[in-house]
Amino acid sequence: MSDNAAVVEAVHEALSHVNDPEIRRPITELGMVDTVAVEGGRLSLTILLTVAGCPMRDTLQRDIAAAVDGVDGVTELELEFGVMSEQQRADLQVKLRGKAGAEPVIPFNLPESRTRVFAIASGKGGVGKSSMTVNLAAALAAKGLSVGVADADIYGHSIPRMLGVEGAPTQVEDMIMPPQAHGMKVISIGMFTPGNTAVVWRGPMLHRALQQFLADVYWGDLDVLLLDLPPGTGDIAISVAQLLPTAELVVVTTPQQAAAEVAERAGAIVTQTHQKLAGVVENMSWMELPDGSHIEPFGSGGGKTVAEALTRDVGTDVPLLGQIPLDPKLREGGDAGVPLVLSDPDCEASRAIRAIADQLAVRKVSLAGKPLGLSVV
């Protein structure tokens, strides 16, 4: 083997450790490495992007430069980017999603899926459901889990702002590559509407949008998917039950009894949809004053009341997962696009949210393809 051939082989090995930032798989495996040439220590690389103007180009350029920097025999890098042809994109889709032209399926419903899906629900608006969604997601991602967030609140979408997502999804053939924020994959109807345009749709269009979020978006191998549902038990709640029958509901309430009654109705939907209730989160439970004392501006006991009522309604234990204190920094983090569990991980509210995340962090174990040790007598 010539010296140049050995260097080229070493470059391919180095590039096999560079993942596409959106797909999270090696660029060598995805057919993105077009040409590799070495002459006199000068390495010429051509990398094919999935689409022109790929938003993750700078990240890819940095990762490639870092990967080849340590290759013996390479003293200079000349990196060029091209764009995949239609056929190459079609081949990529087949590699990622299976047979071309096949009807997209929701991967989380497949027997081999190990992703736990949590639908964050509430009976009414204003209880902090979206804040809980983004902070629980960030807490789970900080534990090293692969996390996705789907903003299923089509009319009142707020997840892009609360996670600081500025990029738009990338489309590869029929697949949608979701933007990422704080290590999480995120999708929202707000990424497809100009400015602050209102979404004025009836039920069938809402169902189709949610279906596309689940089937057309390339989520990869997630540990956890969180859906931020709209308040109440309307079209989206019904669609989630139909499209994701194994999704587990987390009901968010505040302590006052009026909110607790509405939250109970939101959770009791499982008696008709036959879904599982993961538990109840009580938000805005108390507020700490400058002297260290606590006040309860919204009363007390609502979360416990909802958990006990739902336990009676469904006939299985529905735990109170935790109580989150009222902290202005939680709202500030949402406005700034940085979840509180990341900006101030040691505050009381962050600790309470992380404790809830710990209870949700167990990944499903699939038995698909595994020998069970059974024998026929």
- Binding residue numbers for ATP: 123-130
Residue stretches of the annotated binding site = 123-130
For tokens 């169902």, the residue is 207
| Strands 42-49 and 76-83, sheet pairing | parallel
Angle formed by the axes of helices 129-142 and 328-336, to 10°? 80
Give the integer Cα–Cα distance in Å for 146 and 165.
17
